[in-house]
Amino acid sequence: MQLEIIPAILVKSREELLSRIALIQDHVNIIQLDIMDGEFVPNKTIGLESLHDLPNANYEFHWMVFHPEKWIEKTPGPHMHLVHVETINDFDKLIKTVKQAGGKLGLAINPETPVEKLMPYLSNIEEVLVMTVRPGFSGQTYLANMEEKIRKIRELKPDMNIEVDGGVCLQTIHGAYVAGANYLAAASAIFSGEVKTNIENLKKTATRGCQE
């Protein structure tokens, strides 16, 4: 599976969004945009008003919102839409909305949600995002026991992209990779300091582990 280091952008203004995209655009293949509604999670980020005319890049939207369809239908383009399994009401409607918007569907799962909740949907989605923190804020501690979820999903879906998000850093990235995650998202470990070096170091450490 292709290994990707994915910067997660969690910001409150379009200005910050554009400056973060510009910082990392040339160094990665995929950019994650974190969208929070202040209801599904106790934090609010930029909303639809900030998402128009984005620079050309391969985006995945991590929808930490209730009623994701309402957001996705207003976000057209060939994007990956990562919707929380906890927010699904009508899966057929969700798939239809994503297709109409020209996007692809992946499902995200919170730490407290049992992995079994994903099972009915696994053959109809293109990616899984395993949260290794409770979504809402950057800079939290990685929950290593979520690696069991990653292992189970990898066993069932050897060819699916499995992403891990939350507390991913030089100390934790190898564990996530070994468990079976090939998409490794991070915010603080990328944006604190020099982004290009941080991305290179995360990539090396994912496969090799910490050398010190």
Binding piece for ligand DX5, criterion CB under 6 A, among 46-54, 91-99, 181-189, 201-209: 181-189
Residue in the structure block whose two tokens are 């609010």? 44
Cα 53 to Cα 85: distance, rounded to the nearest angstrom:
28
Cα 115 to Cα 137: distance, rounded to the nearest angstrom:
22
The least CB distance from residue 128 to ligand DX5, in Å, is 14
Should residue 82 be labelled a site residue for ligand DX5 when binding is judged by CB under 6 A? no
Residue in the structure block whose two tokens are 């929070």? 36
Binding piece for ligand DX5, criterion CB under 6 A, among 84-92, 118-126, 129-137, 201-209: 129-137
Should residue 115 be labelled a site residue for ligand DX5 when binding is judged by CB under 6 A? no
The active-site residue, picked from 34, 37, 92, 159, is 34
- Residue 19 is encoded by which pair of tokens? 């400056």
Should residue 62 be labelled a site residue for ligand DX5 when binding is judged by CB under 6 A? yes
The least CB distance from residue 187 to ligand DX5, in Å, is 3
Should residue 187 be labelled a site residue for ligand DX5 when binding is judged by CB under 6 A? yes
Using only C-alpha atoms, what is the Rg of the chain? 16
Residue 88 DSSP label: -
Binding piece for ligand DX5, criterion CB under 6 A, among 15-23, 87-95, 135-143, 145-153: 135-143
Should residue 113 be labelled a site residue for ligand DX5 when binding is judged by CB under 6 A? no
The least CB distance from residue 135 to ligand DX5, in Å, is 4
Should residue 137 be labelled a site residue for ligand DX5 when binding is judged by CB under 6 A? yes
Cβ proximity to ligand DX5, 10 vs 105, nearer residue: 10
The least CB distance from residue 133 to ligand DX5, in Å, is 6
CA 171 to chain centre: 19
Cα 53 to Cα 181: distance, rounded to the nearest angstrom:
31
* Pairing outcome for strands 127-131 and 161-165: parallel
Identify any residues that bridge with 164 across adjacent strands, giving them in sequence order.
130, 184
Picking from 208, 109, 119, the residue whose alpha carbon sits closest to that of residue 163 is: 109
Tell me which residues touch ligand DX5 (CB under 6 A).
8, 10, 34, 62, 133, 135-140, 165-168, 185-189
